[in-house]
């Protein structure tokens, strides 16, 4: 396995851990906190880094297949979730802060599905 792929796998797994802690803490508290948002943004940073490195590991333009489309879909949804949560915190939107977990859990499930398929498909490419 190329070192860049190894580092990106570690980075994407870090994203999984950070997203999971953020989303499940939010599920338990039912109130979006700044600490949960920070974890979500850190997860997004690790996700972005991993994606960038996987892209750099190959030469030439991106190939749109199941692996790349599901990876970018999960990343995009998590980015929207982090922006939405930050907006809710900034505006002190009580309704959204209290119901954030109803959106966060489905987005997390989609992201985890893209992680699992990403690992299965990705491992066949190295």
Please report, as ranges, the residues that interact with ligand HEM according to CB under 6 A.
5, 9, 12, 51, 54-55, 57-58, 62-63, 67-68, 71-72, 74, 114-115, 118-119, 122-123, 125-126
Q: Residue 62 or 94: which CB sits closer to ligand HEM?
A: 62
Closest contact distance (angstroms) between CB of 83 and ligand HEM is 19
Closest contact distance (angstroms) between CB of 101 and ligand HEM is 21
The answer to whether residues 75 and 108 touch, using CB atoms and an 8 Å cutoff, is no
Closest contact distance (angstroms) between CB of 13 and ligand HEM is 8
Which ranges constitute the DSSP H helices of the chain?
A: 3-29, 34-56, 66-90, 94-123
Instruction: Kindly state the DSSP code that residue 60 receives in the 8-state scheme.
Output: S
Q: Structure tokens of 3? A: 């070192």
Q: Residue 99 or 117: which CB sits closer to ligand HEM?
A: 117
Q: Residue 55 or 98: which CB sits closer to ligand HEM?
A: 55
Q: Residue 47 or 101: which CB sits closer to ligand HEM?
A: 47
The answer to whether residues 6 and 47 touch, using CB atoms and an 8 Å cutoff, is no
CA-wise closest residue to 73 among 29, 22, 117, 123: 117
């Amino acid at each position: 396995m190329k070192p860049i792929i190894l580092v990106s796998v570690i980075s994407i797994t870090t994203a999984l851990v950070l997203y999971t802690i953020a989303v499940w803490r939010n599920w338990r508290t039912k109130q979006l906190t700044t600490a949960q948002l920070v974890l979500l943004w850190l997860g997004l940073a690790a996700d972005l880094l991993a994606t960038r490195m996987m892209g750099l590991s190959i030469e030439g333009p991106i190939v749109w297949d199941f692996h790349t489309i599901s990876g970018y879909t999960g990343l995009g949804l998590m980015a929207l979730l982090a922006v939405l949560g930050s907006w809710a915190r900034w505006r002190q939107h009580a309704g959204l802060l209290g119901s954030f977990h109803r959106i966060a859990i489905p987005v997390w499930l989609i992201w985890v599905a893209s992680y699992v398929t990403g690992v299965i498909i990705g491992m066949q490419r190295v």
